[in-house]
Amino acid sequence: MIETMRWEDGKLILLDQTKLPLTTEFIECTDYRRVRVAIKILEVRGAPAIGAAAGFAMVLAAKEASNRPDFVGTLDKMRADLITARPTAVNLEWAANKLYALAKKLNQEDMRPREIVPELEKLAIKIYNDDIEKNKRMGKYGAEVLPDEAIVLTHCNAGALATCGYGTALGVIRAAQECGKLKMVYSDETRPLLQGARLTAYELCEDNIPVTCITDGMAAWTMKQKGINCVVVGADRIASNGDTANKIGTYGVALAAKAHGIPFYIAAPVSTFDFSIQTGEEIPIEERKGEEIKQFRSEITAPKKALTFNPAFDVTPNELIAGIITEYGVVRAPYIENIQKLKEMSKED
Ligand code: MRU
């Protein structure tokens, strides 16, 4: 399985996803600021992978803060800086806040900063390991709801590369392949940064899972022509009513799925739910530079003078979602009630 990141001798080694599928290069991070940059420029991306990287970034930050007079105050400032790297994926603040809360608690218990750092390191490693285990559980639940001879359309990359391994939406696809249910995956290319073409197609090809690349504009027609019988995508933030933010283009895919009577599923761990917000209206949507639309890598693809609108995510309203596949099972409508139950069930996590 592709390794998105590893923690080695107190350093975070990240696979540079901006270079895929052409070259496999790694980035060595010894400073939380370098991890912040990697998150910002999508060298590491995908909500759960961003969360795990943020956990390790907090360990690096804590090491640095342990040499300062106000350990907790300094670490809090670093945490606040780190979580501004990308605003939509809630896993970023989820992981950073979790590590900060532990540091603060141990500090209140009179533990010295130098003793706190190894405890934070244990928690960051646990977040990483738990993610893979949760994805496998999610995969099992997801494979059960997929039809036999599944022809699945997915958008963006919610795979091993977007997590610590196995994937969320692609975890469901991997599990379906493992139990002989999968016929074909259609992967939207996912403009403007091509996570679908560069990353999803790449990791499925590596695992010999049948994948057909299409451009985003082909999704509705492909549903009609190619017998797609299920859509599974990932998520960056899910509100308490099930409204879900995911890569720009997901909303259009959900509308097209509805029009064709195809079930549209989200696959995401509980760490991607934001129980503090009621609806998708409250989800902050990241807007990125227009250059991402007007050029690809160094290739200019639109006039310099043209204006741009480049939201990185959109929100799919809950009524378009057939179910949310989590590590605790599949959550279905009525979402407000059932997401509340999920919150209670996952409290120990
Ligand atoms: O901008 P990206 O590549 O970070 O966007 C990623 C997505 O939208 C994924 O679908 C989402 O984070 C889920 S990853 C398991």
Mean pLDDT of all residues belonging to the chain: 97
- Compute the distance from residue 66 Cα to the ligand 1 centre, in Å: 33
Ligand 1 geometric centre to CA of 257 (Å): 20
pLDDT (tens digit, 9 = 90+) per residue, 44-99? 999 999 999 999 999 999 999 999 999 999 999 999 999 999 999 999 999 999 99
Q: Is 45 touching ligand 1 by the criterion CB < 6 Å?
A: yes
Model pLDDT, residue 347? 87
Task: State the distance from the centre of ligand 1 to the C-alpha of 71, rounded, in angstroms.
Answer: 33
pTM: 0.97
Dist. CA 158 → ligand 1 center (Å): 6
Identity at 239, one-letter amino acid code: A
CA 269 to centroid of ligand 1, rounded, Å: 13
248 lines ligand 1 (CB under 6 A): no
Dihedral sign, Cα of residue 61, residue 65, residue 71, residue 74: negative
- In the predicted structure, residue 274 carries a pLDDT above the cut 90: yes
As a whole number of angstroms, the distance between CA 264 and CA 253 comes to: 9
Pocket flag, ligand 1, residue 49 (CB < 6 Å): no
**Average pLDDT of 145-154?**
98
pLDDT of residue 255: 98
What positions carry a catalytic annotation?
Answer: 236
Mutate to test the pocket of ligand 1, among 187, 247, 293 (most ligand atoms within 8 A of CB): 247
Using CA atoms, how far apart are residues 281 and 279, in angstroms rounded to an integer? 5
Percent of the chain with pLDDT over 90: 98
- The residue contributing the CA closest to ligand 1 atom 8 is 247
Q: Find residue 296's DSSP bridge partners.
A: 299
Tell me if 162 CB under 6 Å of ligand 1.
yes
Closest CA to 246 of 227, 265, 263: 265
Q: Is the CB of 177 under 6 A from ligand 1?
A: no
Joined tokens for residue 273: 């739910």
157, 174, 194, 285, best to mutate for ligand 1 pocket (most atoms within 8 Å of CB): 157
What are the tens digits of pLDDT across the range 160-188?
A: 999 999 999 999 999 999 999 999 999 99
Cβ(134) – ligand 1 distance below 6 Å: no
Helix (H) or strand (E) holding 93: helix 90-108
For ligand 1, whether the C-beta of 253 sits within 6 Å is no
Q: Per-residue pLDDT tens for 107-138? A: 999 999 999 999 999 999 999 999 999 999 99
CB-ligand 1 contact for 246 (6 Å cutoff): yes
CB environment 189-216: b (16+ within 10 A), e (fewer):
bbbbbbbbbbbbbbbbeebebebebbeb
Residue 297 has what pLDDT?
87
Q: What pLDDT score was predicted for residue 228?
A: 98
Q: Taking Cα atoms as reference points, which of 170, 190, 186 lies closest to residue 178?
A: 170
Cα-to-centroid distance, 236 and ligand 1 (Å)? 6
Q: What is the mean pLDDT of residues 195-213?
A: 98
For residue 2, pLDDT beyond 90: no
Asked whether residue 29 carries a pLDDT value surpassing 90, the answer given is yes
